[in-house]
Amino acid sequence: MRSTAALFAVSALVSSALGATYNLKDTFVGEGFLSGFTHQAIPDPTHGRVNYVDQQTALAQNLTFATDDTFIMRADSFNVVDPSAPGRNAVRIQSNNAYTTHVSVYDIRHMPQGCGTWPAAWEVGQNWPAQGEVDILEGTNDIEPNQSTLHTSANCAQPDGRQMNGNSISNNCDVAANGNTGCGVQSTIPNSYGKSFNGAGGGFYAMERTSTFIKVWFWSRNDPTVPADVKTAGATVNTDAWGTPTALFVNDQCDINAHFGPHNIIINLTFCGDWAGIPQFFNDLGGCPGSCNDFVDNNPSAFNDAFWDIAGVHVYE
């Protein structure tokens, strides 16, 4: 009886982590980002050296532009920033629609790079941290590789020994613990972030969220294992066929339904702030000179490559 019960428990755990087939809900390509997302001209919640501008300003200053198959978001790379100003002009966009159980696929050709940069593609609830946060693509100062992280309210943790290709670097997801590091998983693929990501022509990120697990995958642009339904967006995706994820977050020590609500997609670029500006990351790990704020203020040409080039974001439910 004991061995039978154990086998049943293992079977239930494995089946709870299986994927499914999802139908296309929303497609954002080119000018679709201008209507499907809102430019958030808000003070940076992470205290970055950034001035987020609205859509009208972003278009007028060429910080945002779209073609039929391309959407660009960039930082100002021409002007020295006055020390009394909020920071360097950049863009933060948030999807108008919110999602619960879903799959989001990000086809990105280029991401912001350079000292002082802190780019992220992530999903978050309106009531933070009660409704949770999923960081899909995030890092600072060209420090490779990518890190995918959950940030939650109290009583959410992750166990060791999860079936994923990434390395767990922290298990407590509670924002009130460990300086809000969250429960992070670091990719083992160098070109999942920064200069190496861009040098390889970018790639594909995908996130699946259900009531019992959250998964994140990454494939470099020319990886022969990129699933066909990821490489070319269609009417459906089948996550069962995508293989072992880079990051897996499960609910045996975290009630996902209780910790995660409807999420909007956010894509943004900030500078310095609560993570990128810490000297350990800016100087020691990032190899960047001086203080982060001074660097961002006084070196506009250093941000020539601080831009997103997004081929599309597709959401399935």
Q: What is the residue whose two structure tokens read 């060209």?
A: 142
H/E segment holding residue 302: none
Question: Is the Cα dihedral 192, 205, 261, 269 positive or negative?
Answer: positive
Q: Count the Cβ atoms, other than its own, within 10 Å of residue 84.
A: 5
Q: Contact 72/286 with Cβ under 8 angstroms?
A: no
133 has catalytic annotation: yes
Euclidean distance between CA atoms 250 and 100, whole angstroms? 16
**Do you know the residue count of the chain?**
317
On the CB side of 180, CA atoms within 13 Å amount to 12
Q: What is the residue whose two structure tokens read 């992220």?
A: 120
Q: Contact 11/304 with Cβ under 8 angstroms?
A: no
Q: Contact 246/218 with Cβ under 8 angstroms?
A: yes
Euclidean distance between CA atoms 166 and 48, whole angstroms? 28
Residue in 133, 144, 208, 317 annotated catalytic: 133
Helix residue ranges per DSSP H, the chain: 2-16, 32-36, 55-60, 194-199, 228-231, 256-259, 273-276, 279, 292-298
Euclidean distance between CA atoms 137 and 135, whole angstroms? 6
Residue in 31, 123, 138, 317 annotated catalytic: 138
Q: Quote the distance between the C-alpha of residue 244 and its chain's center.
A: 19
138 has catalytic annotation: yes
Euclidean distance between CA atoms 275 and 140, whole angstroms? 7
Catalytic machinery residues? 133, 138
